[in-house]
Each structure stands twice: as structure tokens, then as C-alpha cells.
Amino acid sequence: MQTANCGIEMNFTEITNERFGEKYYKLHHKSGLDIIICPKKDFNSSYALIGTHFGSINSKFIHNGKKVTVPDGTAHYLEHKLFESEEGDAFTLYAKTGASANAYTSFDVTCYLFSCTDKFDESLEILFDLIQSPYFTPETVAKEQGIIGQEIKMYQDSPEWKVTMNLLQALYHNHPINIDIAGTVETIAEITPEILYECYNSYYNLNNMVLCIVGNVDPERVIEIADNKLKINEPVHTESIFPDEPYEVKQSYTEQKLPVAVPLFALGFKEKAPKSFAGTKELICTSIILKAFAGSGSSLYRRLLDEKLINSSFGTEYMEGCGYRTVIFEGESRDPEKAAEIIKEEVIKLHQSGVSEQDLEIARRSVYGEIAYSFDSPSAIASEVINAEFTGRKISEASSIIAEITLSDINERLKDQLDTGNCCLSVIKGID
């Protein structure tokens, strides 16, 4: 990776990924916003994603010396309300530019996005107005409760969502990762305009936000629009508060019945987790371990498939953040308990033998290929950029780390993962 002045008058920093030939231009705007642009002249469309480091788990924090606790679901509620302003609804404005717009709230971040093939400048101006024009009144806040209440009920009826949330609730005693992102109908009823403004002023400061743009765009034009639309923000200090979380799981099994044709399962292995994000090397090692152990070419995958215990829905996921880290094996199975039993049996063997050199090389190429493939997706690029900025990881270091990972690195990382004595099985079964 090389970093230098790219020669653009706006004094961007150029970040080059030599292995993939990707270039990013980064600038800390005078408003406080970090702007990262990945020009793709061969793309027909452009994609913009702006995020704030505020998600559902940030329900307790200290802002300007004051300790604040907000109702569960506030981050998601605020995401909904920012689309409204005194001038009208942002979706209506986007419709006039032809852009496709959306937003999402996760456990750790809230992001707003649009993609377009035309009128990029106008759409970017709408995005800047959206994140700078909070408008909350008792009437508008109350109006949203019914809409979000219906969304909450929809997720409560979603087997795919519930199998994961039930797992997190069984794994974690205290950490807010065990609380649904949208909250409950009861908690959102407690949200007021004052609470929304408190959260907005604490986390929606431009110094706490990152904008990533991918596509056929002119970096200088982006900064011109930013100069015209963004207000200068003085930095604020907001510190999120997370409770201590024991290493041990809360319970080892949880089950719920919903209308499903085939049972769903999620087997989670809880790890020790500092109140910080994992480093890139840790993430790469985990990706390689999971690919080698449970990828579609692995002996575990073939065994589960041969015994008709999984189908093509089977996969793995690594969830990590401030104070939580969990490896998850998930999918459909006609016998979830048997599938989980086999996975744990194979995990014990893995710890005894370690990952082999051959499996490492196969998994390394697979993980490397997935990263290379992601560079064809504007949304994947932007999401990875935002994630890297908020976690302190460098945008383009993964490819070089993959090439340098050794078998010793992999098996050392394995020691901290997949503890069969500290896991939980979540199952969704059909209604009798």
C-alpha cells in the first residue's frame, strides 16, 4: 500500500492497494467529515454511503460529562425520523432525482445511502441535508411508533431473525448485543423528541461520521458540494458505556416454534472479547479457519451433507464488536441437535490436529478471491470502507495480510476460538 498526495487540488490523500490496483482518495473535510472516494470510471452508476458510529448497542453513553441512558431501539428510531424534515420527506426528493435510497441500523452503526445513474450532485445534496436537518416534534415522533411497531412485529415473526437473536440472548448475560436492534413496542413508546435530539447531538456530529462514494464520480466535484452544503462541526466527546460480560454463556440451548417447513439452527461459540474491535489479522485468521473447517469443500460440510443434516443454506458468520465476539454456524436442518453434535465433534478434532498446510492454502485462495470479487460491488466497497474507518482498521491491508498469514498464525488464533464448553444451540422448529 502506498500513501501520497494524489495531485488533486483538494489535497486528498491517495491510498493504493497494489495487489488489486484499487485507489481511494481520502480527505478530512473542514466540516469534520471524513470523505473517501473510490472512482470507478467503468461503472455506470454511483453509490454513496454515509455512516455514524451509533448503533443499537450504544444505548448508554457519556456526552459532555453527562451519563445518558436511552430506550432500546432509539438508534433505529432516529434513523427513521431523519428522513423527515420541515420541508418534507427525503424519499420524495430522491424520487425526483431517480436515485434509489435507503438506510439501515446495525448493532454498531447507522448508515444512509443512495445509488443513481444520473443527477448524482442533486442526490448527494439531499443526503447532506438529510443528516444535518433533524426535525422532531411530539406529533411526528408519535406517528412513527405505529410504523416501527409493525416492523418489530414482522421481525418477531421472522424465523431467520429470531434464530439469531435467540442465540445472542442465550449467549450474553449483560451486553446489549442481546437486545433486538429495533427494541420492543414498549421501549419505543418511551422515545421522545428530546431523546432523539440527545442522541443526534451526541453521535451525528460530522467528526463522528464517514462518507464513502464509489463509482463514476469526480472527487473535486464531491468536495465542492461538501463545501457548499456541510456546516462546520466542532468536535464533541461521546463515550459509549458497555457492561462487563462474563466469558461463560448464559444458557446452552434455546428453542422457539414458528411456522417453518424445515427447522433452523444457529450454533454459536462465545469468545473472550475486549471492549475494542478485532484487528485485521485476527479477522483474516478467523475467516481462513472457518473456510478450512466448514467451507463447501471441507470434510465437515461433506459429512453433514452426506448425512442429510444440512442443505445449501448452511454457512458461517463471525460477529464481533466492542465487548462481543461469536462464531456462528447456521442453516436449515431436519435434525439440528445432531448437526450441532457433529460440528462440536469435528471442532474437538480440529483443536487436536490444527489446520493443515493444504487446507490453509485452499482457504487462503478462497478468502482472497472473495475480497477480489467484492471490488466489483459498490455497496461492498463502501461498507468495508465505513467499517474500517470506525474500527481503526486500514482500508486495504487485508490483501497483504492474507498473503503473509502463516500456519502458526492460524493455529495460534484457533486456540482462542470454538470452545465446545462455551457454546449455545438456538433452534426454530415448526408448529405442531
At a CB cut-off of 8 Å and minimum separation 6, what does 76 contact? 56, 105, 110, 148, 181, 182, 183
Taking alpha carbons only, the member of 244, 278, 291 closest to residue 390 is 278
Whether 337 is catalytic is no
115 with 45: CB under 8 angstroms? yes
Amino acid at 143: K
Burial status of residue 397 (CB atoms within 10 A of its CB: 0-12, 13-18, 19 or more): middle
Measured CA to CA, the distance from residue 146 to residue 400 in angstroms comes to: 49
Catalytic residue among 18, 79, 194, 361: 79
Give the bridge partners for 215, in sequence order. 39, 46
Sort strands 238-240 and 88-89 into parallel, antiparallel or unpaired. unpaired
Q: Which amino acid is at 135?
A: Y
Q: Do β-strands 209-215 and 264-270 pair in parallel, antiparallel, or remain unpaired?
A: unpaired
CA–CA separation, 347 and 75 (whole Å): 37
Q: For residues 81 and 8, what is the distance between their CA atoms, to the nearest angstrom?
A: 37
Which of the residues are catalytic? Answer: 79
